Amino acid sequence: MTVRLQSADFDVAAEVTAITQGRTDIGAVVNFIGICRAGPQDDRITAMTLDHYPEMAQAELERIEAEARERWPLDAVTIVHRFGRLVPGDNIVLVVTASKHRQAAFDSASFLMDYLKTRAPFWKKEERASGSDWVAARDEDDVAASRWDEGNSP
């Protein structure tokens, strides 16, 4: 299991290969790549800065990853989350899950992204031609994550 915070870009193919090479017990690999987007034409994002407290962020990502392994029969997990200044088109986050069966891989990847979006301690500042602002948490992200609460799991 791999959890990394880094400013440098990641190589999706290399990360998947690292999980699967030499393994014949894995039947499904699911990956999610979050990418910095420009947003609406009338107020485009020119850059985004992700800030974090390294020890706190690392510990929380590891806790979230461990919770996924408790919930699903996973053979491997990789989480890579970038920080620093990113521009539209840059990779932000990678989640790769591997399991014997596809449903566990899909569900755990979805869970990880919902929890990373709402519980990972990152602060996001968006730069636009009109100025820059720190981004507030969104209610719809909390609603998405709540489906994984005890008794609500799909």
Burial class (CB in 10 A: 0-12, 13-18, 19+), 71: middle
Question: How many distinct structural domains can be found in the chain?
Answer: 1
Question: Looking at the domain assignment, is residue 153 inside a domain?
Answer: no
Q: Give the model's confidence band at 21: pLDDT under 50 very low, under 70 low, under 90 confident, else very high.
A: very high
Q: Give the model's confidence band at 4: pLDDT under 50 very low, under 70 low, under 90 confident, else very high.
A: very high
Question: Looking at the domain assignment, is residue 154 inside a domain?
Answer: no
Question: Looking at the domain assignment, is residue 19 inside a domain?
Answer: yes
Question: Looking at the domain assignment, is residue 22 inside a domain?
Answer: yes
Q: Give the model's confidence band at 151: pLDDT under 50 very low, under 70 low, under 90 confident, else very high.
A: low
Q: Give the model's confidence band at 65: pLDDT under 50 very low, under 70 low, under 90 confident, else very high.
A: very high
CATH assignment at residue 25: 3.90.1170.40
Which strands form 131-134's sheet, in the order they lie side by side? 84-86, 45-52, 122-128, 131-134
Question: Looking at the domain assignment, is residue 34 inside a domain?
Answer: yes
Tell me which of 67-76, 88-97, 133-142 is least confident. Answer: 133-142
Instruction: For residue 71, give Cα distances in angstroms to 33, 45, 97, 146.
Output: 22, 37, 13, 15
| 44 pLDDT above the threshold of 80 | yes
**What would the pLDDT profile of 82-97 be if each residue is shown by its tens digit?**
999 999 999 999 999 9
User: Rounded to two decimals, what is the model's pTM?
Assistant: 0.90
Question: Looking at the domain assignment, is residue 151 inside a domain?
Answer: no
